[in-house]
Amino acid sequence: MTTAAAGTAPFEMTGGRVRRDGREVLDGIDLRVGPGDLLAVMGPNGAGKSTLVKALLGLVPLSAGRTEIYGSAPARFRDWKRVGYVPQRLPMGGGVPSTVREVVSSGRVARQSRWRPTSAADRAAVDRALEAVGLAGRARDSAHLLSGGQQQRVLIARALAGEPDVFVLDEPTAGVDAASQAALAGTLRELAAAGRTVVLVAHELGPLEPLITRTLVLEHGRADHTGRTARTTGHSA
């Protein structure tokens, strides 16, 4: 059982502003992401796309306005197992390199407690996630030795393993090959069929375009265009 009502918006921002080095990176953004939306955030480099999704998650503080995750301010939100975040790159810290399976298994942390060891359900969720992104055969490989596209699929599998209600993906197709883009499209198709919510940052949609239900185009930190796509309206937004 979740703490928020089933119809509560996964994300809502009102008058969102982010200011850095004297410049408005986000300038008065109003956005509601409803349950089941597949929202594409688009725009040129420097438009504020990544800043927007990080602000929705509370990773970047607002200088004005407000944002909520399932009706709560990010600082007060506690039900993080409902949210899966896929950053642009696999973090490469020091120490012993992690295997693909270890990285993907870390996606189960929000569903575990310090008193409960890894369960059969945890292992099964990791297995399903690896299969979904086509990396079951690479589970024991060092994640940092994979190609950029494969590393992106590892991050997506980590989010899938947590079985969240909403996924936030920051440029998952940037610099990856056509096969990885096709694999991502297949994964998003399954998420959409299951009623999951997706917020996706992208320069170009490619094979993902038929799946998108809404678009938000940013230009210099402002919403230049918003609308529903042909998938939900039957015509261009």
Question: Which DSSP category does 99 fall into?
Answer: B
Cα–Cα distance, 14 to 31 (Å, whole number): 7
Both tokens assigned to 54: 């990080």
Q: What is the pTM of this model?
A: 0.84
Compute the CA torsion angle 148, 105, 190, 215 (nearest 10 deg).
Answer: -60
Mean pLDDT confidence for 13-41: 94
**Domains of the chain from N-terminus onward:** 11-232 (3.40.50.300)
Task: Check pLDDT > 60 for residue 96.
Answer: no
Q: State the pLDDT at residue 6.
A: 52
Percentage of residues of the chain with pLDDT beyond 70: 87
Give first-to-last CA distance, the chain, whole Å: 36
Binned at pLDDT 50, 70 and 90, residue 217 comes out as: very high
Mean pLDDT confidence for 125-142: 92
Nearest residue to 57 (alpha-carbon basis) of 169, 162, 163, 156: 169
The pLDDT tens digits for 144-198 are 888 888 888 899 999 999 999 999 999 888 777 787 788 888 888 888 888 999 9
